[in-house]
Amino acid sequence: MFSTLLYFAMLKAFANSLKIPEVRTKLLFTLSLILIARIGAQIPLPGVDPTPLKNYFKDLAEQGNSSLFGVFNMFTGGAFSKASICALGVMPYISASIIIQLMTAVLPQLSRLQREGEAGRSKINQYTRYLTVLICIVQATLLVYSLENPKQMFSNFNPSEYGDIVLTQNWYFIFSSVVLITSGSILMMWLGEQITLRGIGNGVSLLIAVNILSDLPGAAQMTVQLFSKGIGATSLNPLYGGGMIMLFFAVLAGVIAITQASRKIPVHYAKRVVGRKVYGGQSSFLPLKVNYAGVMPIIFSSTILMFF
């Protein structure tokens, strides 16, 4: 009953927000850019057959085998398994941001720029974009060569079983694919920045969240198959399904509790006497969040590993 009331309250709040022209414009702008990002994730590279790669990732998921490439594919919203023009997603931009942040603590020039306010931060953002292009070119080149020889990237990929991914292997395919993948990542970076400036929320984080959520329908379908007819030789009892649902909500509640938790540091103000009146003497607190970083360390660590 409480969850139903909460659901209707959320819908009512969302409907009321649409009545405000500024909020409605920002929301529609954000949704339109997210739609563009999702369309880009579905466009495969010219000269590439994404079916073998999709079948390979599907078999890995059915077998319960997870790998670093599976995590990367989740962050790109399945664009990596489709060999699309946005196969790298916003990960090169995140890698460049991490590198620039680390270099800011080492190089005095970047440290001075960071202290110069808006102009300095704008300059650092420009350096981050340049580094993103460089990382995109390097990673796109290695990705194209790996698609031509998939056994170098995926140890258990059998071309005779899944088929060839690349249909035409020549210098023009390599050059055009690198240009398209780099352009796709730059487009994703630009969409994220535009959402941050003119939309709602942090654009890059929102794109990553949408990419992760895009895998939920497939995960739900696999879960139903696991308890109905089983996957491979594995089939679970419905009792386990109820336990997994309860465990899911327990973990979700724990994550929310840790994210929202804060330690209240008491702050006492000294009293002062002016004439016959006493001022101050109030008590307050300074909230310090338990988990400031959130999920970003996980994203950063996976991005750094994928960069190497």
Domain ranges of the chain: 21-236
Distances, alpha carbon 26 to alpha carbons 22, 155, 206, in Å: 6, 45, 14
Give the bridge partners for 269, in sequence order: none
Measured CA to CA, the distance from residue 124 to residue 118 in angstroms comes to 10
Tokens of 132: 């993103």
Distances, alpha carbon 86 to alpha carbons 185, 265, 269, 285, in Å: 6, 46, 55, 46
Q: Phi and psi at residue 78, in whole multiples of 5°?
A: 85, 0
Tokens of 149: 């020889």
Q: What is the pLDDT of residue 233?
A: 47
Measured CA to CA, the distance from residue 138 to residue 307 in angstroms comes to 10
Measured CA to CA, the distance from residue 70 to residue 165 in angstroms comes to 18
Cβ atoms of residues 93 and 185 within 8 Å: yes
Handedness of CA 190, 191, 194, 200 (dihedral sign): negative
Q: Phi and psi at residue 40, in whole multiples of 5°?
A: -60, -30
Whole-model pTM: value is: 0.74
Cβ atoms of residues 242 and 227 within 8 Å: no
Q: What is the pLDDT of residue 57?
A: 76
Q: What is the pLDDT of residue 186?
A: 92
Would you give per-residue pLDDT tens digits along the chain (308 residues)? 545 555 566 667 667 777 777 878 888 888 899 999 888 888 888 888 888 877 777 777 666 555 667 777 777 777 877 888 888 888 888 888 888 888 887 888 878 887 777 777 888 888 889 999 999 999 888 888 888 887 777 767 777 777 778 877 778 888 888 999 999 999 999 999 899 888 888 888 888 888 888 877 777 777 777 666 655 545 667 777 778 888 989 998 988 888 888 888 888 777 776 666 766 667 777 888 888 777 777 777 776 776 66
Q: Phi and psi at residue 194, in whole multiples of 5°?
A: -70, -35
Q: What is the pLDDT of residue 124?
A: 85
Tokens of 306: 């994928």
Cβ atoms of residues 222 and 247 within 8 Å: no
Q: What is the pLDDT of residue 275?
A: 67
Measured CA to CA, the distance from residue 98 to residue 78 in angstroms comes to 23
Give me the helices (H) in the chain, please. Answer: 2-18, 21-40, 51-63, 68-75, 91-104, 108-114, 118-148, 150-153, 159-162, 171-198, 203-213, 216-228, 238-260, 296-307
**May I ask the CATH class of domain 21-236?**
mainly alpha
- CA angle at 101 for the pair 97 and 103, rounded to the nearest 5°: 115
Cβ atoms of residues 117 and 154 within 8 Å: no
Q: What is the pLDDT of residue 183?
A: 92
Distances, alpha carbon 6 to alpha carbons 1, 12, 13, 169, 245, in Å: 9, 10, 10, 56, 20
